[in-house]
Amino acid sequence: MEKPAVFFQNAPSDLLADWGEEQFPRIDYLIDKENSAFGISRGILKVNIWCLDDGGILPEDIAPMVIQLLHGLIIKAGREISYLSWQKDYLHKDISGKSLFSSNRAGREPTGLGVTLTFSLQAIWLDQEETMLVTAANDWVKGHCKNLLVMGRDSITGALRLEPGQGLISWQQMPISAMKKQSYGYSWIEGELIGYLATNAGEGAAIGERLLADLSLSGEIVLKDGTPGLLQQVHLKPGREWCQITAAFRYGVIPQKETGPAYGMLDHIMLNEDEVNKE
């Protein structure tokens, strides 16, 4: 085929002439994920590596290279950006019959050997509308956390691998906000943000706790109109390389002025003095 033999779900039939003389090693992969209503998907990526037990390359020879390439990788594809983290692998032997392999060496049918690598997958939707609270949180991170990349602010194309001590954060606002207090000139609203923080393996808790401490110390973020978003509470759900930060803010919104009927209100009269004198 003259190209890397990597296929989604299933490889083509072994009987196809396009294979040429070599059909192995080869890889097939499967993605299984579930979407949520809050801008994030979770799932797994399974990568199957297939070889023959004919004394050549074995699956366990290839597996470390695949893990090194995919573990900790951030991939932007279409409307999503995904983070991969290696979880486990296991060996298995394929004995599905003679139809699987077309070659016959040393008078016997070679057996297929396989390794399945499992990666956890966290994906963030990129088409979520940025609210004024999300904008303020992004501005705050860019001003206070030099080690963090911000979704929607920093350019991410194709694939990205974080540097040691570096993280990538995306803020999403929960769809329900509550009015806590009505005062003269302001309506006080409480809104909740969820921050999804991706880091390198083993750095999630440390980077997440540092972000939590800096945000708690600041106590506020500044909205686009200059009004403060006062931090009410913040919580960190740490992980080895993937953290979730929940932060509630209270901020003031200036009520819109009431308008008159659709036909408008008269607010200016101009008289033509010449016409008045003639009368």
Residue whose entry in the numeric block shows the structure tokens 């030099």:
146
Alpha-carbon distance values, 207 to 69, 138, 165, 220 (Å) = 23, 17, 7, 20
CB 172 within 8 A of CB 197: no
Residue 144: its pLDDT value, please? 94
Q: Length of the chain, please? A: 279
The pLDDT value recorded for residue 258 is 47
Are residues 128 and 99 in contact, defined by beta-carbon separation less than 8 angstroms?
no
State the pLDDT at residue 147. Answer: 94
**CATH 3.30.2000.10 placement within the chain:** 128-253
Cis-peptide, bond into residue 25, ω within 30° of zero: yes
Of 126-135, 148-157, 196-205, give the lowest mean pLDDT range. Answer: 126-135
**Residue with more model confidence, 267 or 148:** 148
Task: Give the ranges where 8-116 is alpha helix by DSSP (H).
Answer: 59-70
In terms of Cα–Cα distance, which of 39, 14, 41 is closest to 131? Answer: 39
Looking at residue 238, its pLDDT comes to 87
Q: What is the DSSP string of 3-16?
A: S--EEESSPPPTT-
Is a pLDDT exceeding 90 seen at residue 29? yes
Q: What is the pLDDT of residue 235?
A: 95
Which of 181-185, 215-219, 270-274 is predicted least confidently? 270-274
Q: Name which of 52-56, 106-110, 229-233, 262-266 the model is least confident about.
A: 262-266
pLDDT class of 108 with cuts at 50, 70, 90: low
The mean pLDDT value of the chain amounts to 79
More confident residue, 176 or 167: 167
What is the pLDDT confidence band of residue 99, given thresholds at 50, 70 and 90? very low
- For the cut 70, the answer to whether the pLDDT of residue 274 exceeds it is no
What are the tens digits of pLDDT across the range 54-66?
778 888 889 999 9
Whether the pLDDT of residue 105 is over 50: the answer is no
CATH number listed for the domain at residues 6-124: 3.30.2000
pLDDT in tens, 205-225: 999 999 999 999 999 999 988
Q: Nearest 5 degrees, angle CA 143-CA 219-CA 204? A: 65
Q: Is the pLDDT score of 264 beyond 50?
A: no
pLDDT classification of 20: cutoffs 50, 70, 90: confident
CATH of region 128-253, choose from 3.30.70.270, 3.50.50.60, 3.10.450.50, 3.30.2000.10: 3.30.2000.10
pLDDT category of residue 128 using cuts at 50, 70 and 90 = low
